[in-house]
Structure 1
Amino acid sequence: MKTLSISLLLSLFLSFNANATGSLEFLNARIPEAPPGAGVMAGYMEISNTTSKNIDIISVNSQSFKMVEMHQSKEVDGFAKMLPQKKLSIPANGKLILKSGSYHLMLIKPEKWFKHGDLIKLNFTLSNDTKISLDVNIKKTSSRAMKCAAGKCGGM
């Protein structure tokens, strides 16, 4: 009975922190809350590949957004640019971290204003036609970050 209780607690803990899909594991997936009326949001997470082969994500979509694009933020000729990516490659037995200032998901034209605690379903398509669905929480952001996202952080 004690083993069953520990196993149950462990499985509940893991379900909140990771989503394993056989070949890929999604950790700390989150979408920061944006101010009402924001036309774009971003998706961040750590994606681990538990196989001995590279895996490519070739598309992401969500019914909650008109479009989802895969981007990489990069400095080009002294300017920060967001470069659309045709795929996101996760190396064999490696990981790819989607974070601000690097690779990330750009969630375009939300169907409504999503707030802290809302759940968004993201659908990933891999290069081998495998489909993966992932439920991602909207997470609260600081009031300064929300003001900057709305273009009101001053100084520029």
Structure 2
Amino acid sequence: MKAFGWNMLLAMAWVVLSGTYTISNLVIGILLSYLVLAYVGRDKPTFARYLGKAPRIVNFVLFFIWDLIKSNARVAYDVLTPTHLMRPGVIAIPLDLKDEGGITILANLITATPGSLTLDVSSDRKVLYVHLMYLEDESRQLAEFKALEARVIDLLG
């Protein structure tokens, strides 16, 4: 995590030296310090590993924000219209994640998405149980959760 620490330190130095204490200026500082680290640390394996993860993190965040927007729109539509389209159910998701940290991240991402709630993890850590407000096609829903799990594995790996 040395590279991340350097990135944040340089970003904070940018904010302090520029004298503009805003979120947008902090984001600019993070991007500029990332570019500086990419140039300075191009021969160091620690920085190379960190610099390779940053695009995956941005891709994951954008993917999850889009998923949140879709889920919020679906729940809001169902709340605002007189007919309720809910078909609640529980689905069992077989897990490829092995470590508890990865399972916790996946469970929290699922719970953060409107319309879904993580209920439990099996005692052998191989199955995650999720309650859904809209369980029309179990195989499609399972595929969506497996895609999210694959992105978490890619992010952690």
Q: TM-score per shorter chain, which class?
A: under 0.3
When Rg is computed on C-alpha atoms for both structures, the one with the higher figure is 2
**Highest relative contact order (Cα 8 Å, sep 6+), 1 or 2?**
1
Higher helix share: 2
Higher strand share: 1
* TM-score, normalised by the number of residues in structure 1: 0.27
